[in-house]
Amino acid sequence: NAGVTQTPKFQVLKTGQSMTLQCAQDMNHNSMYWYRQDPGMGLRLIYYSASEGTTDKGEVPNGYNVSRLNKREFSLRLESAAPSQTSVYFCASRGWAEETQYFGPGTRLLVL
């Protein structure tokens, strides 16, 4: 099993450009999450999807949209990137009745 995969690994954007970060898991997990990690801030939850067909805002949702395409895939979209969105983005998943989360390798995003 590949676990949780993320693409791309690294991306540079100019202010105002848009992009979609992709995440997929092959563990048949119900719940999926998008976090951002900034220096000294730990991980902060952007959006989550408790199950296929549902999405909810986390702690820092402004400037982002998400799509739970199917049970495997959960994408994060930046419609108009801003320098404040420069960060490392992590996707995670969790199985039903499980309590731990499984993380992808991350996407490093630089917005100029």
Partner 1 sequence: SQQGEEDPQALSIQEGENATMNCSYKTSINNLQWYRQNSGRGLVHLILIRSNEREKHSGRLRVTLDTSKKSSSLLITASRAADTASYFCATAQATGANNLFFGTGTRLTVIP
Please give the residue ranges that form the binding site for partner 1 (CB under 8 A): 4, 31, 33, 35, 40-45, 48, 50, 56, 58-59, 90, 92, 94, 99-106
Q: Looking at beta carbons only, is 17 or 30 nearer to partner 1?
A: 30
* Parallel, antiparallel or unpaired: strands 102-103 and 42-49: unpaired
> What is each CA distance from 107 to 5, 36, 110, in whole angstroms?
10, 9, 10
Smallest separation (angstroms) from partner 1 to the CB of 35? 8
Q: Looking at beta carbons only, is 59 or 79 nearer to partner 1?
A: 59
Smallest separation (angstroms) from partner 1 to the CB of 83? 21
**Cα-trace Rg, the chain:** 13
* Parallel, antiparallel or unpaired: strands 10-13 and 107-111: parallel
Smallest separation (angstroms) from partner 1 to the CB of 16? 28
Q: Looking at beta carbons only, is 15 or 51 nearer to partner 1?
A: 51
Contact 46, 58 (CB under 8 A): yes
